[in-house]
Structure 1
């Protein structure tokens, strides 16, 4: 797509029309060969009685294919009976019911987009969500066309001994029933109707591990994870996670698996994390392979969460799917909520909640405030791949979470049961999901549905008044929402605000004026206020003292909170609140205030090397370190200073260097003041302890490595030596990478030689492990040293870097541009030039990845004018590319508006 061409047409939700035809049965035959793959498709079509029009012709989607033949009911069509272009095949005259056979050739060997059927190393695999199936065969490639699939794969026996597709295996053998044939076939049948985006195919030389699961009704399901032989020892954690997810889904949602076999395949080249294809999940290797020597704690948790997420899609996405792509959050938001609550049950609910909120407030809130802001259910798009966003996934999760909290666990479960019962085998909408919740609860959720249709992050401005004589506390909450591209004005949201009140001795009983106590709990210390108006006041009575409000407990709504907490209030919340999220959030807000003090000094030109830091922060941290009764995971989270990305979100104009240097200065001062306590924590850890990915052990490692991170800011030789010892003798990748990261960023005397030796030895030892090499690339790409960009440029020439592999691109290019702000936002603009170069190259190779790399540029208006000018220049250079993909065009054009 050229900047000089006409703009690509946006697809609008309001233009949705039911399909004119249904595809009752889909029979596919794949003849896999090195020079080309021939796909024969036989479709049984019936005119849709629900269609609004009944045209004589029928248009099928199709791209990047060579048509060999097309036939209706066995009769081959002449060239004047159909019309073929780059994106479709139109049959000029079709009956109400017919069988369509097409034969086409595709070239998976050179399909670098990683959509449709493509080659990853020595393996054939597919990625069809959202619109990749149209690169395989001509089809009604839309999620509301659901069909029964029969798939036959034919390939060379020696090269591709494993042939997989959706459903159950019904036949396999040698081609032509000749045991001497060098080719074989397998036929799979998926009895559950599905849209084409859930189709999957894998052919390769793979090994597998196998286990079994007995469902609640007594059926035995075979479980297999397919990988390259070298990775067989990295599959056990994924298998355990899968079995836990299957049992949890039965117990929590009553959902049982419905095929004889469930398969996962690990693929090196994959644009996404994983894909929930019916019965045959295809995973990025980063989301399925795990063992202590090669995988960090975060990696183990990611595998557990992603395996669960894709399995849960079997019902929330497959059995009940989306009517159209505007409804993407119907399956993704709901399934993220399901996997988040599963992970919380498997580990620490508070830690999981904090991690999820940190992601939301740092990145999704930024998305809401940028040019790509869109509702959870978008109204339009040019390229659907651009809408696999944090808004659809993470904010969509928060919308479902609010529904669950408003209804309560029993009614929410009844609502999900009704939703699955009503719509099994259907393609539906977010309105259908909410309607099921309304039906079981009797509540009118019309206003609540604005969360799906309005973009932006609501802001709650809270003020209060204490009437000492009456013992009454008045809490006034006003809601507003900034303008976003789709709307300048917003109607009030329905916002659940969970809250409590703290006194000097702890939580206070809540007595809402004019409201009877909850009959189930009586006078309690927690309640949920339902905000539905632009401003509401809530009055609490019979209070013995002026309270400190504990607001938005467990982050009950995806909003920004504005309340003028004093630093003493924040210290009280940190030490006395029984809500883990609010305790952590108070620690973050106190640290932000302290860092902003130093930022102000930095911007005035003061020397902040030994900055003055509010003793209340230091004392609060000291109390955390010395309180052995606290959960170590929560202590680690509360001690971790707000990230540079979150600090940036607190500023109208992002002053990158001020944020970076001020945060570092505060960290050094805290480390110096608490050096003895931090060393005690670090030295108490038993580094010889065998690795376990349990919540308790992860918490211990997390706290110990937070202590190390603080200590390493002191640049003392003995601490550098301790860090090097951890790097050399760690028995797990979590501790190895924690130490290596500190060595890479250390400014201690002698650190340069230690760093270079460690990086060299690390690569030499792990170069045969691609996922470990990704970590090695990332740790260098995120280095704070001023020559980080030059290092990244050199690493692009290194044998470790594969220019077209999404994981390598994310590890090096993505990490530098998204997670190294002080070096990406260099004053000379070289960071921007570098990223623009990468986007323009990938635009021709893999448009999806190219478009996702644009994210740091979408916030260009938030920076000082000098940086704005340089970023705008880079964006205009990208937009001027004569052959710009739809993916990149949509993001860059919206960003420049």
Structure 2
């Protein structure tokens, strides 16, 4: 539903106002007669007054976009004066203490472009009900603390929809009697015995093929595993099945959690607002995170599939069996489950490299969020629409909070705590406090101060000062968190800091855990042979910023001599950032060119170290992007940043070219292709070396690009070479891009990569190219994946083009937001996060972008999603 854009007309939901529901729904039976434009939904709900509620409370059900046909209580139809229907609710003033409510409604799946509720994707019926999509299907108490068992009957035309799926276990299926109104129809019935909130309901119907496997649980139960896809994609599901089986085994071993139904299903759909959804027993996935073959998927695609399959499966316990009481507790299921999928991926691949990747995502998405107008606590206090709080803060920072608790209580007590949590709250809707209490009970620790991490927004900064005096070393850590919207005061937090001291030839002390609970803490070390360099927050033990006065020599010591892989990488990454910033006139490194030579020498040593994994070398060799620099500077000047990064890469290339050529040649993998860690690491190093060689795309390097394209037996290598060509101002560029599209134009997911590469290009005329691609046959504004590939990549990761000095990038972007909002407000609102750093732009650009945000806020008829996001972004101006 659209809402008036005036602020006083927009109602917020507040955590402090939470009240338990007046009624519960013991059992839900749903019957669907599927039709693209007019689906009939019969809901039969067994409802009872909550134990502590007085009789006489009205029954209030949520519902939006529904055509109500009938309302019945215990079989008796209600007259129109016995209930009230608004745009968002069905209200029945007088109901019995216990009764059966029946409603009949019609809905229009084909017209549901917002992809929330029941909609259609390429002729297939599918659902997305989290967070508040179920109200678009039928009238219901659409809140996560109302748990019910479900029986579902689906009826549909058999020829168009031979496969009919819902949550739970299959009960029966068959053909329906022939009739003139419904010739050739059939039905299927499903039953889910586990109480669940309606946001976990799922239905899929369409012409689908599937691949099947079996998994035997530790207790000896056989579970059928099926992955459903469009028939032409049936050969691209093997890795998804393999990842699912490994996830199930890992969760049994690591957390003691066993699957509880007879069947587990995954369905791939092309139109999806998220990555995937953990609906009980019937996970619905964006097809990008299911379909993979060596020819069409990159190593990164395989990694994402593995991690997302694990994430959604792990939700079976951390989200489904134990769900969240209200949407303010979203981090309870998402933060915990992200932590679980990160641990799974670390065990499947390289733990140090996985940690680097997880923290890089946090730095790229969550730290900027915490530092800008969109800052909010991991457990927010209010919202207009909960869709806007599926954020990096809730997911990624939420995972870091779970990780910190594990650090503080220890691995054994952490496992005991999760056992208590799952056993105590199985079948319930829980809160963050319930989770923390289990940690306290298992460990005997008081985590009262730690709870501030959930209620306070912002990233703490730890300032580091030290003193060296003839073998004695004093180190002082001081914490401070800057004000965030609505939270000017920030008390000290409980911060676990893993620490070691490093010298020229390696560690001088063993790693220890320091708990910073007050504003400051001083540590003293004696008998050291040399002045040490502190290695702080090893393994990124807390989501904080470190403010250290380390010179280039100190940082090179950590890069070359620290035994903590994460800190070696982080120091290399941050030093590279500072060098680029110095070239751009915003750094603090004198003579940056000379410092780059020393930095290059350190990288050269790492490249030649045979004891290090290729995947780690690839990460440490990767040059920060322009977007990385934009996120780290005080004043954003995209042109200066782009020029500085080019300068840095050119100097680095002059020093490392022979080693880069050697790395490219030595890490070419022999067939057959494998997405496993060893081969993926080799390809990662080879292609990162190639990317740095393309800092100067001369004829020799372009011949490597052409050679790799022509000889590649996998999409990882082909995509790496073609994408690098897309960023190069070379005459071969157009031919390479055209050839790639001609080869892969019938593979939608591959074409999306092609769109993104052009959207990311910072070449002259890039905006005009993006505008032309809007009209290309490969683009569709109704498909979120394509919107993210073209418009999202341009706005989020191409600062040079997005922030064109004349404001044309902003004009194009805001026109697309207005165009997209009526089609899919969730996706439109998320795209707006590209503007969260506008206050740090140089004055000319800042003024242009500010005016665009203000104009958007004043636009009539905006969705709640876009209005809330625009208002938060523009607030204060």
Which sits farther off after the overlay, 450-459 or 4-13? Answer: 4-13
2:625 corresponds to 1:643: yes
Deviations 1:469-518 (A, max 9, x none): xx332111110001111200111100000010112332123xxxxxxxxx
Quote the offset at 1:465 in angstroms. 1.4
Conserved 8 A contact 2:558-2:568: yes
Partner of 2:570: 585
2:580 corresponds to 1:595: yes
Question: Normalization by structure 1: what TM-score?
Answer: 0.95
Quote the offset at 1:29 in angstroms. 0.2
Partner of 2:477: 477
Aligned mates of 1:18, 1:2 — CA distance in 2: 29
Aligned mates of 1:394, 1:221 — CA distance in 2: 31
Deviations 1:820-851 (A, max 9, x none): 11111000111111110111111111110010
Partner of 1:855: 833
Secondary structure of the 2:813 match is helix
Partner of 1:83: 84
Aligned mates of 1:883, 1:581 — CA distance in 2: 48
Secondary structure of the 1:844 match is coil
2:849 corresponds to 1:871: yes
Aligned mates of 2:377, 2:740 — CA distance in 1: 44
Secondary structure of the 2:845 match is helix
Which sits farther off after the overlay, 432-441 or 687-696? Answer: 687-696
Quote the offset at 1:467 in angstroms. 2.8
Aligned mates of 2:440, 2:317 — CA distance in 1: 20
Secondary structure of the 1:373 match is coil
Partner of 1:521: none
**CA 1:161–1:494 in structure 2 vs 1: closer, same or farther (change >3 Å)?**
same
2:113 corresponds to 1:128: no
Say how many residue pairs are matched. Answer: 872
Conserved 8 A contact 2:36-2:120: no
2:820 corresponds to 1:842: yes
Conserved 8 A contact 1:4-1:882: no
Quote the offset at 1:601 in angstroms. 9.0
Aligned mates of 2:448, 2:747 — CA distance in 1: 52
Quote the offset at 1:412 in angstroms. 0.4
Partner of 2:245: 243
Partner of 2:546: 561
Quote the offset at 1:423 in angstroms. 0.2
Which sits farther off after the overlay, 495-504 or 296-305? Answer: 495-504
Quote the offset at 1:673 in angstroms. 1.8
2:167 corresponds to 1:166: yes
Conserved 8 A contact 1:613-1:666: no
Conserved 8 A contact 2:781-2:787: yes
Secondary structure of the 1:528 match is strand
Kindly report which structure 2 residues correspond to 1:790-809, keeping only aligned pairs within 5 A, or say none. Answer: 790-809=768-787
Aligned mates of 1:108, 1:589 — CA distance in 2: 49
Aligned mates of 1:70, 1:138 — CA distance in 2: 10
Conserved 8 A contact 1:152-1:186: yes
Secondary structure of the 2:478 match is strand
Aligned mates of 1:65, 1:834 — CA distance in 2: 35
2:864 corresponds to 1:886: yes
Deviations 1:146-203 (A, max 9, x none): 0000000000011000000000001111124999950000010000000000000000
Kindly report which structure 2 residues correspond to 1:323-472, keeping only aligned pairs within 5 A, or say none. Answer: 323-468=325-470, 471-472=471-472
Aligned mates of 1:661, 1:690 — CA distance in 2: 41
Conserved 8 A contact 2:627-2:798: no
Q: Which residues of structure 2 form unaligned runs of 5+?
A: none
Aligned mates of 1:737, 1:368 — CA distance in 2: 33
Aligned mates of 2:812, 2:777 — CA distance in 1: 20
Conserved 8 A contact 1:603-1:658: no
Conserved 8 A contact 2:165-2:205: yes
Aligned mates of 2:698, 2:785 — CA distance in 1: 36
Deviations 1:285-329 (A, max 9, x none): 011111111111110000000000000000000000000000000
Deviations 1:573-613 (A, max 9, x none): 11111100001011112212322221129999x9x9x9665
Conserved 8 A contact 1:20-1:54: no
Partner of 1:679: 661
Partner of 2:745: 767
Secondary structure of the 1:342 match is helix
Secondary structure of the 1:853 match is helix
Partner of 2:503: 503
Partner of 2:677: 695
2:652 corresponds to 1:652: no
Secondary structure of the 1:211 match is strand
Aligned mates of 2:789, 2:419 — CA distance in 1: 41
Aligned mates of 1:602, 1:481 — CA distance in 2: 23
**CA 1:600–1:92 in structure 2 vs 1: closer, same or farther (change >3 Å)?**
same
Secondary structure of the 1:883 match is coil
Secondary structure of the 2:9 match is coil
Quote the offset at 1:768 in angstroms. 1.0
Secondary structure of the 1:46 match is strand
Which sits farther off after the overlay, 878-887 or 384-393? Answer: 878-887
Conserved 8 A contact 1:27-1:43: yes
Conserved 8 A contact 1:225-1:235: yes
2:556 corresponds to 1:571: yes
Partner of 1:522: none
Question: Normalization by structure 2: what TM-score?
Answer: 0.97
Conserved 8 A contact 1:879-1:893: yes
Equivalent position to 2:644, from 652, 662, 669: 662
Quote the offset at 1:880 in angstroms. 2.1
Aligned mates of 1:497, 1:437 — CA distance in 2: 19
Conserved 8 A contact 2:37-2:107: no
Aligned mates of 2:457, 2:550 — CA distance in 1: 28
Conserved 8 A contact 1:570-1:589: no
Moved over 6 A (4+): 177-180, 601-604
